């Protein structure tokens, strides 16, 4: 990131960032793998770079070491609990931490910790920020009440316009406090120039993909709404139309959903797609996976709160085909929003295997020049709207506006 003040051309030091010397505390249940956890670390790193103290109150987790390496400060705290009595005690514990550490603002990234943070910040008259990392669309009145704490921040950050719309629909009183800040992507890691050819070749060998075969990739955990069955149906249609030399790769962990895995295997066998559709398990090298793919699909059948896979794939220059559902379409340029020659991918109706097959065929038929052009546009699109630097800068701007008594602009 490039957020640290540094000498200007005239040899003079630029003014310190408004957050320099201030203490900001984020609270989250644990620091294990996940979008909310990763974002907490990225924001902590950005705070450290501008000279702020970046505290993260959390139980712990695999990413604590990374947090500390990037300048964040781990505050051990029982933030995971949902026990009402313990949460009441946690309000006093968190308030004491805020007083002892001189905390100026608290940012909650999950519901149970948000209730604790709300109590502590209101008692101390501190600014309170929340982030909707998901839609939190509770079906019962009790669940909606529990979720409502996320709409009570002085600034309510939504990770997409789709999520912002849900917040305003469910909690109209929060409307003027909602600010859209897209999740940021590490464009140094997700860059074609950062991936050695050997990494791509290693993945192709592990997946059993022959040198002449192109890859259509769906990278998501194995669960029904991620659309694996829709892709299998699309693969069957394309095979019937004469498509060959293409491997449809389902990369994702079953996470214990053994019955769903058996359903997928039965469908693959019933469609005579053994060898053409492959389940390859969890993939740990997603930059190489997206670079290896000729097409990346996100055929979700339920709304997603953001479109991480689509963004990361575009950063690697891969054409994408996504469902016209939830937040994912916000991440892809396609008609009718833009002319066809400006597209970075295709949007298709959710659950429509025929439309998915047609879009995959169109992406696979791109010539070398057209594919290079779409890759260049896709990378530029991600750099402009979904960079890690932009996410961190926008978040820090929201903090500054609150601390200086202004109102962040709702977007």
- DSSP code per residue over 123-137: HHT--EEEEESS---
Tally Cβ neighbours within 10 Å of residue 266: 10
- To the nearest whole number, what is the mean pLDDT of the chain? 93
pTM as predicted: 0.88
Q: In the block, which residue shows the tokens 């040198």?
A: 211
Compute φ and ψ for 281, nearest 5 degrees: 80, -170
Q: 23-184+388-403 and 192-385: same fold? A: yes
CATH class for domain 23-184+388-403? alpha beta
First to last CA, the chain: 24
| pLDDT single digits (tens) 349-401 | 999 999 999 999 999 999 999 999 999 999 999 999 999 999 999 999 999 99
Round to whole Å and give the CA distance between 160 and 138: 18
Tell which residue, 73, 136, 68, has the closest CA to residue 103: 73
Q: How far is CA 273 from CA 130, 221, 256, 362, in A?
A: 46, 20, 24, 21
Round to whole Å and give the CA distance between 348 and 358: 9
Domain boundaries, the chain: 23-184+388-403, 192-385
User: DSSP characters for 352-376?
Assistant: -HHHHHHHHHHHHT--HHHHHHHHH
Round to whole Å and give the CA distance between 135 and 166: 7
Round to whole Å and give the CA distance between 256 and 310: 25
Interacting residues of 201 by C-beta distance below 8 A, sequence separation 6+? none
Do 162 and 185 contact (CB within 8 A), yes or no? no
- Kindly state the DSSP code that residue 65 receives in the 8-state scheme: H
* CATH code of the domain occupying 192-385: 3.40.50.2000
pLDDT by residue for the chain (411 residues), tens only, comes to 444 444 444 456 678 999 999 999 999 999 987 788 999 999 999 999 999 999 999 999 999 999 999 999 999 999 999 999 999 999 999 999 999 999 999 999 999 999 999 999 999 999 999 999 877 766 778 888 889 999 999 999 999 999 999 999 999 999 899 999 999 999 999 999 999 999 999 999 999 999 999 999 999 999 999 999 999 999 999 999 999 999 999 999 988 899 999 999 999 999 999 999 999 999 999 999 999 999 999 999 999 989 899 999 999 999 999 999 999 999 999 999 999 999 999 999 999 999 999 999 999 999 999 999 999 999 999 999 999 999 999 999 999 999 997 554 444
């Amino acid at each position: 990131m490039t957020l640290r003040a540094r000498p200007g051309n005239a040899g003079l030091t630029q003014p310190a960032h408004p957050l320099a010397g201030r203490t900001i505390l984020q609270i989250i249940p644990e620091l294990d793998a996940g979008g909310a956890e990763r974002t907490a670390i990225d924001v902590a790193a950005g705070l450290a770079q501008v000279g702020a103290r970046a505290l993260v109150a959390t139980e712990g987790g695999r990413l604590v070491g990374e947090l500390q390496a990037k300048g964040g400060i781990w505050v051990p705290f029982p933030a995971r609990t949902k026990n009402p009595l313990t949460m009441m005690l946690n309000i006093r514990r968190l308030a004491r931490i805020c007083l002892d550490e001189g905390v100026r603002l608290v940012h909650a990234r999950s519901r149970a910790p948000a209730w604790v943070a709300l109590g502590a910040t209101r008692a101390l008259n501190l600014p309170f920020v929340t982030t909707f990392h998901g839609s939190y669309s509770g079906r019962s009145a009790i669940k909606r009440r529990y979720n409502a704490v996320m709409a009570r921040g002085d600034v309510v950050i939504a990770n997409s316009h789709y999520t912002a719309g849900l917040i305003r629909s469910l909690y109209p009183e929060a409307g003027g406090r909602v600010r859209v800040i897209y999740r940021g992507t590490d464009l140094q890691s997700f860059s074609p120039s950062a991936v050695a050819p050997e990494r791509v070749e290693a993945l192709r060998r592990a997946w059993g993909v022959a040198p002449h075969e192109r890859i259509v990739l769906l990278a998501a955990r194995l669960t029904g709404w991620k659309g694996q069955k829709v892709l299998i149906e699309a693969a069957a249609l394309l095979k019937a139309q004469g498509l060959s030399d293409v491997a449809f790769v389902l990369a994702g962990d079953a996470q214990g959903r053994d019955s769903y895995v058996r359903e997928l295997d039965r469908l693959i066998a019933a469609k005579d797609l053994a060898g053409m559709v492959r389940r390859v398990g969890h993939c740990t090298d997603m930059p190489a996976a997206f670079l290896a793919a000729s097409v990346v699909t996100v055929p979700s059948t339920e709304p997603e709160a953001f479109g991480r896979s689509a963004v990361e794939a575009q950063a690697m220059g891969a054409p994408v085909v996504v469902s016209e559902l939830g937040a994912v379409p916000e991440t892809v340029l396609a008609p009718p929003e833009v002319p066809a020659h400006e597209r970075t991918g295709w949007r298709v109706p959710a659950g429509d295997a025929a439309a998915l097959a047609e879009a995959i065929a169109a992406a696979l038929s791109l010539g070398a020049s057209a594919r290079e052009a779409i890759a260049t546009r896709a990378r530029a699109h991600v750099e402009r709207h979904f960079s890690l630097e932009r996410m961190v800068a926008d978040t820090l701007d929201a903090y500054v506006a609150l601390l200086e008594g202004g109102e962040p602009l709702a977007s």
